[in-house]
Structure 1
Amino acid sequence: MKISTITKIYTLFFTSLFFISCQTEYKKTTIKEELVKQLDDLKIEIEQFKVVVEQDQPLEKIQTAFNKTRAAYKKVEWAVEYFTPDPARFINGPALDELEVEENKFLPPNGFQVIEEFIFPEYDPQNKSTLIREIAVLKGNIAQVTNHLNAITLSPDLVLDATKLEVYRILTLGITGFDSPVALQSIKETPYSLNGLLPIIEKLNVNNSKEEKELKKLISEAVRFCEKNTYFNQFDRANFIKLYLNPISGRLVAFQKDNNITMVNRNSVVNQNSGTLFSAESFNVDAFIPSKEYLYSDAKAALGKELFYETKLSKSNDRSCASCHHPDKAFTDGLKTNSSLLGLKLPRNTPTLTYASLQNAQFWDMRQADLEKQSLAVIQNRDEMHGDLKNSIPLLEKEPKYQSLFQKAFNTTSNIEEWQVQNAIASYIRSLNKFNSKFDLYFQSKGSFTEEEKLGFNLFAGKAKCATCHFIPLFNGTVPPVYRKTEQEVIGTPQTNKGLAISEDLGRYYQYKMPQLKNAFKTPTLRNVALTAPYMHNGVYDSLEQVVDFYNKGGGVGMGLHIENQTLPPDNLNLTKAEEKALIAFLKTLTDE
């Protein structure tokens, strides 16, 4: 009896010792080692997926193998997207040609989204050889990622920065269905992305921060929320963001401070000290300035406001920027298209200037990269202002008001320079980002939504697929979470609201003669959209109801127009009248106070 008891005690002791030893060894494993192992696991899943296809197994098994491969990828997505962005776009990028417009060439898409289209909802065995080739390309790209990650140092600052961006990626691209547009597996995949962050948090917690425990708890709760609510169209994204993703983001910032992990030194579009994407200070107003001389200041914005209403910038001294951009209409003009100096109709609708600074492409056709070039282009345009800064500046210099304002803005008593005029006007436009709409207050936990507005948001970010082009929370086409690329889309906007023919305006194709860009236009912001009617680049629709109906039908192709390069899915969204009404109610919450 005694010997048996002692034996049990020793067995329990050595079992515990072994367990602790294993835990210690796990702790000793570096982030890189853990990551490389996960990438090796991913390559195994890819190979097994390939075998399932090669063996002509049933569709259900092919789709299951694909889902397992995607799940393995989601665990390492945080690192692949951050440290290897070039191959990443061919691993999980949209199934659209990657355009390199400056070189007039394009690269065909590869990766998960291309493969997804082959096997969801059905699979045609005639595509077998192409599908196998795509799987092989995917495996090759993952091997390239592994080689790169093996060769670099994964420092704590970079790793944590990647972790924070992954949470934003889940919020903006993951739960919206952006990277699973056909299979709609996004909600089921989110737990893998979240769980992939747990070992990182554990290994970075060198100062025993209490935030580790809170982060693990929040992530576990978020995972359970997703596992209990897997249906894409009914997922409550509003609650998921407010209750889980926003708190996780905030805790990561606190965790970073507790562990004395430095901020990555980069010109980030998102303020790295911000706890969420939804605070008024989340976005860097200087994100897209040409160089440091153009940094924003209140003094520049004050000067720019005066210049915005200054008619001396036009040749005839009777037009200003405000002639076409009215503050009460969110800096649009309420017209289908405005008139030229000669009284003829301009070809395009006047876009809002609010939040225009948070895109790296200006005008409907994206022909200018920043607001400085945009302002100059409008001033010089023969149809709009037909001005010349060389002639306008001497007139400005004669006025004491401008002498004082330029001195304060640029800290100089020298003569006014052209770039300063451009920069001042651009600075005023950069001051128009208020982030104080009902939507903002709701996600800042300072206000509430009605049930209809909440439904509308969940539709916008889910079933209606609006957020796959108008990315939350800027609601424009600047792609999160790094916000460096602004997208254009071909949606098939008709020439008239009868929808009998596509608009004759070829958009970006005028700048770059690539067939993919015919009828392509920048994805504009939807902030303040309730104030900016009429809509589309040609002002073809007078109301939000008409716009929602257009998208519900599947754009131009869905309406029966022949458009070979439409990037908007042509499928009917099957929104009910009540859902259309809720979607519009949500869009109205984007109006600034």
Structure 2
Amino acid sequence: MRKTSILLGSFFICLLMLSGRQLVIPYQKDTVLEKVAALYTANFIKFQNEVDSLATLANKASSVNEWEGLKSQVEKTRLAYKEIEFIFDYYQTYYNGTYINGAPLSKVSEYFEAEKVIPPGGLQALDEAVYDSASNENLQHIQALANGLKERVNFIANIHLPVHLKSSQIIECIRSGIVRIFTLGLTGYDTPGSVNGLKESVVSWQSMETTFLYFESGMAQEAKAEFEAIKKHFTKGRNILKANTHFNVFDRLAFLKEVVNPLYAALLEFQNANKITLEPYKKHAQNYKAKNLFDKDFLNTDFYSELVYLPLDNPKTIALGKLLFGDPQLSKDNVMSCASCHNPNKGFSDGLPKSVSNQKGVFTDRNAPTLMDAGYSARYFWDMRALDLEKQVIHVIDNDLEFNTNFDAIVAKLNKNAHYNKLFNEAYGGIAKEDINQRSISNAIAAYVNSLKSFNSPFDKYVRNETKEYPENAKRGFNLFMGKAACGSCHFAPVFNGTVPPFYLESESEVLGITQGFDSIALKLDTDLGRMGNGLKMDNHPFLKNSFKTVTVRNIALTAPYMHNGLFATLEDVLAFYNLGGGAGMGLEVENQTLPDEPLDLSQQEMEDIIAFMETLTDVSEYEVGGD
């Protein structure tokens, strides 16, 4: 019967060909999904086997004489992981970041173990450990890490496999994988010990390329041109990655412009041409409708403000928030406004080491960071105590040194103003009994702050191919920033803040060993507890002592002085501090410093080039305070 069906089918096809009619073959989605799932499962089992081998080898190791074998097996295990990472991390994001390949730092679990502190573990911790000193103590640490990884991988395999894929999600896995390579692989973030990012990126790249090629089976005629273009982009990228083995000299800017951005855009065009519906597996901040890593809408700030009073993209609330932002009526004695410490002409900062308070001659405890691009974050303030932009407003209102008032007093003032009554009614009418209330005031200011986005700098225009003009020293500076100088491993592209790629779900803080003064003779650590003292139970841990939010370096040329205490007057001072290895590198005992304490060995020219790049991130031209 089956043979007869095949013959009839062949006969039917021949008749169509002879009649001159074009045969339309339906897109063989199931075949693609089955092939990708089979490949992924085989690669996952391969990774699982390498983890087993690592645990066995570590447990058998009785002395440091077997160190090189352990180092080699860690590399093999990590390379096997890189074949599955772009899919595994997409579907198991939080588990991956907590147990399989998270940063080698203690963290508080927000998803699995009720705010329990989870010690460093997983592949990054192993990469760091095997490149540390060969000692019996470290050998025991590696054994514990390897056994812990084996336990976690075996556990997740039972839940994760078989994986259920959709076509659009496979493409999104690949697109997020490209972002991951550029922001975490090529910056060295993912390989803190070996700095093996280029070699691992080749493996990731090839795995994504192999996966994508399965889409050739039965694709729509309209998608063939994009398919061929994507094949060329993958080939070019693979050749560039393979040809470059020196981490410090890899041309990341050329790779971004010539491969990463074109490939990222072409994958979306292919998806659209093939009529593959956008169906994200889960909500991420990465906006899969964007075409360029440096598009203004590459990240969706709505992700960080899901629980606000009204969505923050309402033009009426933004306009109202702008008015409130510059209005001193919000403070107790009508002496301060938001703009007092966040001046648009100074990049929405104030140019002071620590901000002026409402009391003459008294200053606040910290420097005022820029509000530009503040919306691209999961936590707010230097100590990260506020969880959204609305709550950030509340902290300023009731601070004794800032507005020193309460919402009842502010509401009473605003209710006396007919213009405000009209604007609040237009923006918030019908939501609550009173239009002017704590939530509506906070929401309006949050909406304005959220609108302050700066993706039209000279750098952005250059990498989007909107201009051919870009300084040579800034090109060198970008490559240093994203490579040798390791700036990009904390200040992640495209916002260049601490919100972690490729899904940008969480924002990081760092312990840098900031001092009270930049005095190399009588160094003293700054005593500000930072995140540990922010009042949140989940952050009250010793490893977060002196830990501060990683803020954006966009518009950094306008926002001196720098750091939470305004320690550094110039960018030259900032680079000098990092070049020395922070407080620990300068000889201080710094608990849990997350900044590597080894000198960066940057030359004076290299530091000047990095500054030249950061100066091209300036873009505040369209923002002014005042007016309706």
Q: Please give the TM-score of this superposition, normalised by the length of structure 1.
A: 0.91
2:278 counterpart SS class: coil
Number of the residue aligned with 1:366: 384
1:441 matched to 2:461: yes
CA separation in 2, counterparts of 1:132 and 1:518?
Answer: 29
The 5 A counterparts of 1:243-392 are: 243-264=258-279, 267-291=283-307, 293-295=309-311, 296-343=313-360, 344-392=362-410
After TM superposition, give the deviation of residue 225 of structure 1 in Å.
Answer: 0.2
More deviation in 52-61 or 441-450?
52-61
1:223 aligns with 2:238: yes
Instruction: Tell me: CA distance 1:251–1:144, structure 2 relative to 1, closer, same or farther (3 Å).
Output: farther
Counterpart residue identity of residue 280, structure 1: K
Is 1:407 matched with 2:418?
no
How far 1:151 moved relative to its partner? 4.8
Matching residue within 102, 109, 124 for 1:113: 124
User: Partners of 1:27 and 1:268 in 2: how far apart?
Assistant: 25
1:75 corresponds to which of 69, 75, 83: 83
SS at match of 1:394: helix
Contact 1:232 1:462 in 2 (8 A): yes
Shift of 1:45: 2.7
| Residues 1:133 and 2:141 aligned together | no
Unaligned runs of 5+ in 1: 1-24
In the other structure, the counterpart of 1:12 is none
Q: 2 CA distance for matches of 1:501 and 1:287?
A: 40
Q: How many pairs does the alignment contain?
A: 569
Whole-angstrom distance in 2 between the partners of 1:153 and 1:345: 57
1:587 partnered with 2:614:
yes
Matches within 5 A, 1:225-240: 225-240=240-255
Shift of 1:463: 0.4
Match of 2:451 in 1: 431
Quote the Cα distance in structure 2 between the aligned partners of 1:126 and 1:269: 41
Percent of aligned positions with the same letter in both sequences? Answer: 37
**Partners of 2:246 and 2:263 in 1: how far apart?**
23
Residue 315 of structure 1: how far off its partner (Å)? 1.2
Describe the shift of the 1:504–1:27 C-alpha distance in structure 2 as closer, same or farther (beyond 3 A): closer
Query: Residue 55 of structure 2 contacts residue 150 of structure 2 at CA under 8 Å; is this kept in 1?
Result: no
Aligned alpha-carbon RMSD (Å): 2.2
* Alignment-derived partner of residue 550 in structure 1: 577
1:32, 1:149 within 8 Å by CA — same for their partners in 2? no
8 A contact 2:513–2:525 mirrored in 1: yes
CA deviation after TM superposition for structure 1 residue 217, in Å:
1.9
Relative distance call for 1:324 and 1:192 in structure 2 (3 A) is: same
**Residue 433 of structure 1 aligns to a residue in which SS?**
coil
Deviation for aligned residue 1:121: 6.0
Tell me the secondary structure at the aligned position of residue 357 of structure 1: coil
Task: Rate the CA distance shift 1:92–1:427 in 2: closer, same or farther, 3 A.
Answer: same
Deviation at residue 58 of structure 1 after TM alignment: 5.7
Supply the distance in 2 between the matched residues of 1:468 and 1:190 (Cα, whole angstroms): 15
Q: Which residue of 1 aligns with 2:502?
A: 481
Give the match for residue 7 of structure 2. Answer: none
What's 2:219 paired with?
A: 207
Deviation per residue, 1:136-175 (Å, 9 max, x gap): 3223322233222225522223322222211111111111
| Partner deviation per Cα, 1:295-333 (whole Å, 9 max, x = no partner) | 121211111111011111111012111111111101111
Q: Please say if residues 366 and 508 of structure 1, whose CA atoms lie closer than 8 Å, have aligned partners that are also in contact.
A: yes
Number of the residue aligned with 2:172: 161
Secondary structure, aligned partner of 1:30: helix
More off after superposition, 60-69 vs 471-480: 60-69
Partners of 1:107 and 1:177 in 2: how far apart?
23
Q: CA deviation at 1:66?
A: 2.6
Change in Cα spacing, 1:157 to 1:148, as seen in structure 2 (3 Å) is farther
Match of 2:403, as an amino acid?
Answer: M
Aligned residue type for 1:554: G
Asked whether the 8 Å contact 1:91–1:112 carries over to 2, the reply is yes
> Matched residue of 1:425: which SS?
helix
For the 8 Å contact 1:201–1:212, the answer to whether it is kept is no
Question: What is the deviation of 1:538?
Answer: 0.4
Alignment match, 1:95: 104
Counterpart code for 1:93 = G
Deviation at 1:477, TM superposition (A): 0.7
SS of structure 2 residue aligned to 1:489: strand
Distance 2:260 2:428 in 1: 41
Shift of 1:51: 5.4
Say whether the 8 Å CA contact 1:94–1:109 is kept in structure 2: yes
Query: How far off is 1:376 after superposition?
Result: 1.9
Q: 1:421 aligned to 435, 441, 448, which one?
A: 441
Contact 1:357 1:429 in 2 (8 A): yes
Equivalent in the alignment of 1:578:
605
CA distance in 2, matches of 1:564, 1:340: 31
Q: Which residue of structure 1 aligns with residue 37 of structure 2?
A: 32
Evaluate the alpha carbon distance shift between residue 161 and residue 104 of structure 1 in structure 2; reply closer, same or farther with a 3 A threshold.
closer
CA distance in 2, matches of 1:61, 1:103: 38
Counterpart-to-counterpart distance in 1, 2:340 and 2:138: 56
Distance 1:453 1:36 in 2: 44
CA contact (8 A) 2:425 2:435 kept: no
Structure 2 unpaired stretches of 5+ = 1-29, 622-628
Equivalent position SS for 1:358: coil
Match of 2:303, SS state, is coil
Deviations 1:516-556 (A, max 9, x none): 11111111111111111111000011000000000000001
Q: Deviations over 1:541-576 (max 9, x none)?
A: 100000000000000100111112111111100001
Deviation, 1:484, is: 1.2
Aligned to 2:555: 528
Counterpart residue number, 1:468: 489
Candidates 567, 578, 598, aligned match of 1:540: 567
Aligned counterpart, 1:179: 190
Structure-2 separation of matches of 1:139 and 1:203: 31
CA apart distance, 1:589: 0.9
Deviation at 1:135, TM superposition (A): 2.1
CA deviations on 1:406-430 (whole Å, 9 max, x unpaired) are: 2332355953222111111111111
Counterpart among 188, 194, 198 of residue 199 in structure 2? 188
Give the Cα separation in 1 of the matches to 2:203 and 2:116: 36
**Residue type of the partner of 1:528?**
N
Q: Quick one: distance in 1 between partners of 2:33 and 2:442?
A: 55
Which piece of structure 1 moves more, 332-341 or 286-295? 286-295
What is the TM-score of this pair, normalised by structure 2? 0.86
Higher alpha-carbon deviation: 225-234 or 508-517: 508-517
CA distance in 1, matches of 2:541, 2:141: 25
Q: Is the 8 A contact 2:396 2:403 kept in 1?
A: yes
Deviation at 1:384, TM superposition (A): 0.3
User: Do structure 1's residue 43 and structure 2's residue 48 form an aligned pair?
Assistant: yes
- Cα pair 1:469 1:476 within 8 Å, conserved: yes
Letter matched to residue 30 of structure 1:
K
Cα distance change, pair 100–132 in 1 and its aligned pair in 2 (3 A):
closer
